[in-house]
Structure formats: C-alpha cells, structure tokens
Amino acid sequence: MSQSNAHRVAGAIIGTLVGLAVASLLVVPFAYTAALNALAEQPGGQSKTIAVVQPVQLPKPVPVTVSLKTSGSGNPAQGMDLFAMNCVACHGPDGKGRPNLGKDLVHSDFVKKTKDTDLVMFLKRGRDTSDPLNTTKVPMPPKGGNPALQDPQLKDLVAFIRQLQKGS
C-alpha cells in the first residue's frame, strides 16, 4: 500500500471512529489501536509511524434547570440521566441541539406535535439520512445508539424532553 493510500485509509478510519465516538459516546481503543497497527505494517517487515489523533473533547455540561415531576407515561428524573448518557453528544446538555449533529428538541414542532407513544416508536426506529425530515444529514441511530434501552426507559426520555420543552 502506498504511503498516500495508507494516509487516506488511516484518515477514513480515524474520521469514522471519531464520528462514532461523538455520536454514541463509545470509544473502542483496542479496535482503534489494532487498525492503526495494521495500517503501519509495510511489506517486507518494515513499519511506519502513524500520528494518532486525540479524541474530540466535548464541551463541559451546561447546567439546565427543569421541573422533574413524574408524568403518567415516564419518569423525567430517570430520563434526565438517560439523556445525559445517550443524547447529549448530538442534542446538547440543554436539548437545544449541536450544529450539524442533532436537532433542537426544546423548540421542535415535531416533538411538540407528536404523541408520547409515537415519540417512543420514533426513538426505537431512529432517523436515517435518507429521511427528508433529516436536515442535518447525520443519522439518528435507533435508541440513540444504545440497543439496551427498553420501552420504559424510552418513555422516561420522552418525559424528560417534555419537561425541557415546558422550561423554555
């Protein structure tokens, strides 16, 4: 593999891994290291040093004040914790979105007009880049990229997002 191609492949792998880390807050250091080591190996037993890009630092959390009253469909206090773990990377700590990543959930007409049960279904399904309503052209993975989330937790997330909207 020529040095130019190796740099392109390394850049593609690094870009993909950084994108995954930002979107899902997952970092897979062993796979990352193995991929870079595989790229560094040159024919004939020679090796080449490849610069490693440091992971993207997310901004510090912004305090958000909301009333966390339990609704009939979900627990917003638990939803707040789930939001911090699964949604903040794209939608920001205040739910107002991050440029070119996630939409503003606080002022979203889609969120305001959609029933809780339909929002839970939306979270389960996600939104592909081919969806005309996906204006960021960044996929929203099903369950925010966390397949372990179940319906009760998704209801908690929806309850929290509703509280964010009430606070705006």
* CATH number of 130's domain: 1.10.760.10
Judgement on whether residues 41 and 80 belong to the same structural domain of the protein: no
Helices (H), the chain: 3-24, 29-40, 76-86, 88-91, 109-113, 116-125, 151-166
Q: In angstroms, rounded to a whole number, what is the distance separating the alpha carbons of residues 134 and 141?
A: 12
User: Can you give the residue range of the structural domain that contains 80?
Assistant: 76-166
For the entire predicted model, the pTM comes to 0.58
Judgement on whether residues 35 and 111 belong to the same structural domain of the protein: no
Average pLDDT of span 7-24? 51
What are the tens digits of pLDDT across the range 34-71?
554 555 555 555 555 555 556 656 666 655 555 555 45
Judgement on whether residues 100 and 155 belong to the same structural domain of the protein: yes
Any domain includes 57: no
Judgement on whether residues 82 and 158 belong to the same structural domain of the protein: yes
Any domain includes 70: no
Categorize the per-residue pLDDT at 32 as very low, low, confident or very high, splitting at 50, 70 and 90. Answer: very low
Chain centroid, CA 105 distance in Å? 14
Average pLDDT of span 129-135? 89
- The rounded mean pLDDT for the chain is 76
